[in-house]
Amino acid sequence: MVKVSHDETILIVGAGAFGLSTALALRERGFTNTTVIDRYDPPVRDGSSNDISRIIRSDYNDPFYARLAKEAIESWKTSNIYSPHFHQSGFLLTSQVANDPFFEKTKAVLKSQSQKYRDFSSTAEIKRTFPGLKHIQDGLNGYFNPSSGWADAAGAIKAVATRLSDLGVSIITGPRGTMQSLIIDSKSRVTGVNVVSGEPFRASKVILATGAWTNRYLDLDYTIVGSAQPVGFIQLTPEEAQELADIPVAINMTSAVFFFPPNPDNILKVAYHGHGFEVEDLSDGKQGRTVSAPQRDSDNAASSWLPDDADKYLRAGLRQFVPDVAERPWTRGRLCWYTETPTGDFIADYHQAVAELFVATGGSGHGFKFLPVLGQYIANCFEGTASAEVQRKWQLPSPTKTKQKIVVTDGSRRGPPRRMLDSNDRLQQAKL
């Protein structure tokens, strides 16, 4: 068991779902000297936890995550912190393939955990059940999970940050909260971090919850990679939003395109849970090493931009479900950064070569839904009390000599193969 005293100085780098939920769990366990730092105030404006909506679902073909999601959904429904931000619209999963293997495995897991779902063998059944999808294209089958839905991600993150402030946990942002590098002594032990402005932060333990930025500070690109996923937003009229008010969150697993019911501001969001895009940048830490990661010194969500192929793909997905608005101009476009691991499993483990450094990352595009319980499980790993199953699934793999292209193999990713954003893409984005 790892020995961690409750009065130790704990520094958490990253104010997203992983970092804030861990800070809250540690404070609730009696840790009295925990500080969180980040570039921006939470919800971090270009973090993957900041958006108008995130899917909250228990639809996994891995019993571990299905069970964990079921636990999280209960908190989404009942907790004073999370319930104001949860909308139980249900989740409609469709496919253009009969007996989709992902569906069959997932439904078997749901059934084994006594979770209810409803099968749809045709598009006609879907139309009858959800009048708002009256223009949905033929050729789809799937199922509906009524316990799932979506959450206002920005609102939930802000609520957690407010709770931390109420409990006396400092959240330091701006240049003072912007990490430049880890401080590692001659004994290969982390003793703090250097920041852009002011004296370094010293700590007895550092928790690196830096998401897609992690490879800029620590060489883990043998096991994680940052990938950018396109997201588009369309402003609806109140009348249009009312017509779609009762639809569920819906996805076409064949194309990986998904969309949400309109939010209270009548905005329709569409995205895809596919393989996304990569970039190739020099890391901030080791000269000559390139990484796929968002920029540290700028707001990665500042420009409203989507690659041309992403724009076309998202609109094709919209035409399948809500063609009336599929050609509407985007109110905003965004690339949302995932932190991928090969299996889609999270990482919550101590670094093998750097003592006192704990890594909490690898959300793989599905971590946010666990926000109400995620920190407790990470804190168990941090204190060395996690179950053998959690330790095994969330362990930090040992470095490998051969670095392979990381592609998530959990069965949920479809759509186009991952593409490297080239100089033309960067030029288009820079112009905005």
Nearest alpha carbon to residue 81 among 378, 373, 405, 395:
373
Q: What is the model's pLDDT at position 3?
A: 81
How high is the pLDDT of residue 55?
98
3-state secondary structure the chain: CCCCCCCCCEEEECCCHHHHHHHHHHHHCCCCCEEEECCCCCCCCCCCCCCCCEEECCCCCCHHHHHHHHHHHHHHHHCCCCHHHEECCCEEEEECCCCCHHHHHHHHHHHHCCCCCEEECCHHHHHHHCHHHCCCCCCCEEEEECCCEEECHHHHHHHHHHHHHHCCCEEECHHHHCEEEEEECCCCEEEEEEECCCCCEECCEEEECCHHHHHHCCCCCCCCEEEEEEEEEEECCHHHHHHCCCCCEEEECCCCEEECCCCCCCEEEEEECCCCEECCEECCCCCCCEECCCCCCCCCCCCCCCCHHHHHHHHHHHHHHCHHHCCCCCCEEEEEEEEECCCCCCEEEECCCCECEEEEECCCCCCHHHHHHHHHHHHHHHHCCCCHHHHHHCCCCCCCCCCCCCCCCCCCCCCCCCEECCHHHHHHHHHC
For residue 89 the two structure tokens come to: 């619209």
Q: What is the pLDDT of residue 283?
A: 85
Q: What is the pLDDT of residue 400?
A: 83
Could you identify the residue written with the tokens 């997201």?
A: 231
Task: Provide the pLDDT for residue 432.
Answer: 56
Instruction: Measure the CA–CA gap between 49 and 212, rounded to whole angstroms.
Output: 12
Residue 284, pLDDT score: 74
Q: Tokens for 425? A: 């893409």
The answer to whether the CB of 58 falls within 8 A of the CB of 93 is no
Please, what are the domains in the chain?
10-422 (3.50.50.60)
The predicted pLDDT at position 241 comes to: 98
pLDDT tens, residue order, the chain (432 aa)? 578 999 999 999 999 999 999 999 999 999 999 999 999 999 999 999 999 999 999 999 999 999 999 999 999 999 999 999 999 999 999 999 999 999 999 999 999 999 999 999 999 999 999 999 999 999 999 999 999 999 999 999 999 999 999 999 999 999 999 999 999 999 999 999 999 999 999 999 999 999 999 999 999 999 999 999 999 999 999 999 999 999 999 999 999 999 999 999 999 999 999 999 999 998 876 567 899 999 999 999 998 999 999 999 999 999 999 999 999 999 999 999 999 999 999 999 999 999 999 999 999 999 999 999 999 999 999 999 999 999 999 999 999 866 778 888 888 898 899 999 988 887 677 665
Q: Pull the structure tokens for residue 328.
A: 């509407």
The predicted model scores a pTM of 0.96
